Amino acid sequence: MYVQEWFKGLDPKNRPEVRMFENRYNYHQLLVERDITLFSCCEHHFVPIIGKAHVAYLPGANVVGLSKLNRVVQYYARRPQVQERLTRQIAEELKQSLGTDDVAVLIEADHLCVMSRGVNDTSSSTLTSEYSGRFAMDEALRGEFLRQIGK
Ligand SMILES: [Zn+2]
């Protein structure tokens, strides 16, 4: 289970191949893939991190197959993780694979280690985000992204 499921993101063989397609529809507006199921594992306490990832990009000459966005999230989540690093790894991978800096990533997750031990808080959740390219510079674009994911 650990090798084949929980930590399959540790094996580079499982890295999703992200193929790009010509943007024949000339779609250049915001594209958001929201509510991507996120299942990870806290590397400090070895208990689950469960939540959602939302990613967005601005298509240029090429577009990506939508499910690849989910697969990139899952590949980096399926290993012992820290949410802050996971957020950055997904953003970096998308920037490289999509060939653009115009990328946004937001993760909201519950950490079982916070819920079940220590502070024992079952209602708090953790949000992390990474904005680059036009998302970092353009507050209105960031606002559109946050509206579309219901924030
Ligand atoms: Zn933990």
- Give me the residue spans of the domains in the chain: 2-148
Q: Please tell me the distance between residue 111's alpha carbon and the centre of ligand 1 in angstroms.
A: 6
**Of the residues 74, 81, 83, 89, which is catalytic?**
83
Give the active site residue among 42, 81, 89, 108: 42
User: Per-residue pLDDT tens for 39-48?
Assistant: 999 999 999 9
**CA 112 to ligand 1 centroid distance, Å:** 7
pLDDT at site 52: 98
**CA atoms of 145 and 30, how far apart (whole Å):** 8
Please state, in angstroms and rounded to a whole number, the distance separating the CA atoms of residues 40 and 143: 27
Q: Inter-axis angle of helices 66-77 and 83-98, to 10 degrees?
A: 140
**Confidence class of residue 111 from pLDDT cuts 50, 70 and 90?**
very high
CA of 42 to the centre of ligand 1 (A): 5
Instruction: State residue 43's pLDDT score.
Output: 97
DSSP-assigned letters across all residues of 127-145:
EEEEE-THHHH-HHHHHHH
Tell me the per-residue pLDDT of 58-72, one tens digit each, with 9 for 90 and over.
999 999 999 999 999
Task: Tell me the CATH architecture of domain 2-148.
Answer: 2-Layer Sandwich (3.30)
**96: nearest Cα among 13, 35, 15, 10:** 15
